[in-house]
Copies of this chain bind each other. A is one copy, B any other.
Amino acid sequence: MIASTPSPPYYAVIFSNIRSDVEKGYAETAQLMLELAEQQPGYLGHESVRDGLGITISYWKDLESIRLWKSQSDHQLAQQMGRDQWYTSYKTRICRVERDYGFEADQKE
């Protein structure tokens, strides 16, 4: 569930969002966009959580990969639907991951 990503530098797109009450088409489109993103060149992984506020972070090899995904035609349509129907507000932040570190507890049997 925590994305496995290579050593920095790589890029992150943080998509913070608040949903509207329109359900129609949302879940299917979100799932489809995820499947399409995974096929894009430069896709490295993603993490997604919602509890009122939704945060989806996708990780990418470089800015060009992010640009190509943003302009992908099905994704363009989904972005338009998002603004028209599914979100009351969102903020997208394009970030360069400069450093990372992690922790894994010993596996307990």
Contacts and interface: CB of A to CB of B under 8 A. Distances in A.
A92 B97 CA distance: 10
A78 interface: no
A76 interface: no
A24 interface: no
A51 B50 contact: yes
Given A83-B103, A87-B103, A103-B87, A53 B2 contact: yes
Contacts of A53: 1-2, 47-49
A2 B17 CA distance: 7
A14 B2 CA distance: 11
Given A51-B50, A55-B49, A103-B87, A12 B92 contact: no
A6 to B, nearest CB: 12
A1 B14 contact: no
The 6 closest A-B pairs by CB, nearest first: A95-B95, A91-B102, A94-B99, A93-B100, A49-B49, A1-B53
